[in-house]
Amino acid sequence: MDHSITDKDGKIYWVDVCKGIGILFVVLGHIAGGYAGAGIFPEYTRVLVTGANFAYVFHMTLLFILSGYLFYRSYAVEGGSSREMFIMPES
């Protein structure tokens, strides 16, 4: 069993897992917020709103941290230039 943190294309496994968790929290936050807003379960509105707020705080923080890490990795560590990052390469 290979315990490498990257695959042959250079993708980092733990980053993909964290992105999946973030996406799951996006979906759960939208579901909880939708149910709370629609008033479908009025006795659970407070729980649904709290759950939706937690999901939004958690997934936004997680996804911002991951995007900053990936930007740093591709720009600073791997020697990218600003032209390569923000402008289409010339053909």
Q: What is the pLDDT of residue 1?
A: 45
pLDDT along the chain (91 residues), means of 10: 66 88 91 88 89 87 89 71 58 56
Instruction: Give the pTM.
Output: 0.71
Closest CA to 16 of 70, 75, 77: 70
Distance CA 59, CA 77 (A): 26
Q: What is the pLDDT of residue 77?
A: 66
